[in-house]
Amino acid sequence: MLHHVANQPHPSLKKWCISHNKFLELLDGIEQNGLATTTFQEIWESNFNEIQLKNKVIITFDDCAAALFDFAIPELLRRKMKAVFYMPSEHIDGLNIWDIEEHSMISVKLMNAVQLQHLVSLGMEIGSHGEKHIKLDTVSKNLAYTDMLNSKKTLEGLLNTKVYSFAFPYGKIPVQHQQMLIKAGYKFGLSIYSPYEKNYALRRFAINETDDKQTINMKLNSRYRLMRIFYDPILLLKNKLFKA
């Protein structure tokens, strides 16, 4: 899970940004570990089995910052790699309003329709990051479902292609999320931390500027995924008790 790739980002973006060199270290690690990038669309349409998925990895970008065209996307193309980009549909050609209003972060220009269409033509995948980029676990079931459905309809109409996956904004999973995603027509749902993992609540890991080659390789290893099976429930329980 990535957001921004830039050198010397604004201080308010540092937590969500990695440098050019760190991004290259991630891509180097993927290649050196014998992994191949794929997309949810490719997985679904090709009906990959467990053996075929063993050496696959999916790079995801949340929010679709337009500046990804400056370095990250060209580097992916240079290496013939794919990625999935998650767009909050109401904010196409807009700004990261949620970050500005909630965290006083600097404004970031998001991709416009032409840029999203161009990504599809390059073999990248566009997924939904909701319609309004809201915490879906804090609203009614009806509003959460409407947000999921409307974003899918908007993106599919714009891109003339199916939208297969949904990345929960803030990683917040609402109650009955699987039923809602299935009803809306999604095949996959992406969280960050999850007490259990299935196609509609897939765990992701972030690459941070503080990661070195060793920790990147560790995160790309199957043992890390095994560790998360035990780590995520404990982390979520601690957070719940702390808030209580």
Read off the pLDDT of residues 187-200 as tens digits, 9 standing for 90 and up.
999 999 888 889 99
Residue range 80-106, pLDDT digits in tens: 999 999 999 999 999 999 999 999 999
Question: Is residue 240 predicted with pLDDT exceeding 80?
Answer: no
Over 80: is that where the pLDDT of 172 sits?
A: yes
Spatial separation of the C-alpha atoms in residues 68 and 112, rounded to whole Å: 12
Mean pLDDT of all residues belonging to the chain: 95
Q: What pLDDT was estimated at residue 243?
A: 65
CA 150, CA 233: separation in Å to the nearest integer? 31
Stated pTM of the model: 0.95
- Complete domains list, the chain, with CATH: 4-243 (3.20.20.370)
The proportion of the chain whose per-residue pLDDT surpasses 90, expressed as a percent, equals 89
Question: What are the tens digits of pLDDT across the range 125-163?
Answer: 999 999 999 999 999 999 999 999 999 999 999 999 999
> What whole-number distance in Å separates Cα of residue 168 and Cα of residue 135?
8
What is the greatest pairwise CA distance in the chain?
48
Give the bridge partners for 84, in sequence order: 60, 125
Strands of the chain, DSSP E: 4-5, 17-18, 36-37, 56-57, 60-62, 84-87, 125-128, 165-167, 188-190
Per-residue pLDDT, averaged over 165-185, amounts to: 96
Instruction: Enter the DSSP assignment of 200.
Output: T
E strand or H helix that includes residue 174: none
